[in-house]
Amino acid sequence: MSTFINKDVACPNCGGTKKLTIISAVNAQENPELKEKILKESFFDFECESCGYKSELMYPTIYHDPKKGFMIGLYRTGSQGSKVEAPASLKNITKRRVKDLAELKEKILIFDNSLDDVAIEMVKNSLLEILKKSFGSDNIKAYFSKLGENGIEFAIFFAGDNKPQYHSIKKEVYDNCCEILSSLNFKEPADFLRVGPTLASDLLNKYKNT
């Protein structure tokens, strides 16, 4: 079930009060329009009718796709009282933790394509290593975009540029990462797992040392 909470918030620009609907839980099946908003990255858009101020107003939320069997908590670590606990009845579904809307969108796209996000992070790790070396910059971000004819496509963001460039990696590289994962006997923890560059490089190092 999706959860809506009406709240009065102060506009950060003019201080005027505005009624805001906080959506603390999104059910992808019941509310496909909310899923669309996440994929368009407009989910947290805030606009003040009094002064016209526009920005993003982010708050913790949880995305649940009961059909595909995954749940993603969006919250920043360390933020008091915002940690999303997994109900006991949802022990057998894939649970992930992300810190912003771009990461949430990426996870949805990965799981909608029935891909393994841990393996995707490992592929991304190798891709970023190459890009960072060839461009001599550490400030490059990559997000899964689609599974296409040319393999796994990533949207690459270079520092200071908000228009992505697309880069594809052969599907075999991904398949290879899945094999590495099973050889490492990687197991899903019971709690919300952060699957990002740290986990990917830890797993790749573990594999190199075996």
Q: Give the footprint of Zn ion on this chain (CB under 5 A).
A: 11, 13-14, 16, 48, 50-51, 53
At its nearest, how many Å lie between Zn ion and the CB of residue 3? 26
Give 7 or 40: the residue with its C-beta nearer to Zn ion: 7
CB closer to Zn ion out of 16 and 148: 16
Contact 154, 168 (CB under 8 A): yes
Of the pair 13, 113, the CB lying nearest Zn ion is at: 13
Q: Which residues is 23 bridged to in the sheet?
A: 4
CB of 41 to Zn ion, least distance (A): 22
- If the CB atoms of residues 46 and 186 are measured against Zn ion, the closer one turns out to be 46
For residue 48, the minimal CB distance to Zn ion (Å) is 3
Q: Are 20 and 45 a contacting pair, CB within 8 Å? A: no
Separation CA 104–CA 109 (nearest Å):
9
Nearest distance, CB of residue 53 and Zn ion, angstroms: 4
List own/partner pairs for 176-183 with CB under 8 A and 24 or more apart: 177/119, 177/120, 177/122, 177/123, 178/116, 178/119, 180/119, 180/122, 180/204, 180/207, 181/116, 181/118, 181/119, 181/122, 183/207, 183/210
Coil, helix or strand at residue 122: helix
Give me the least distance between CB of 79 and Zn ion, in Å please: 25
Q: Which is nearer to Zn ion, 47 or 161 (CB)?
A: 47
Contact 95, 86 (CB under 8 A): yes
H or E segment at 202?
A: helix 197-208
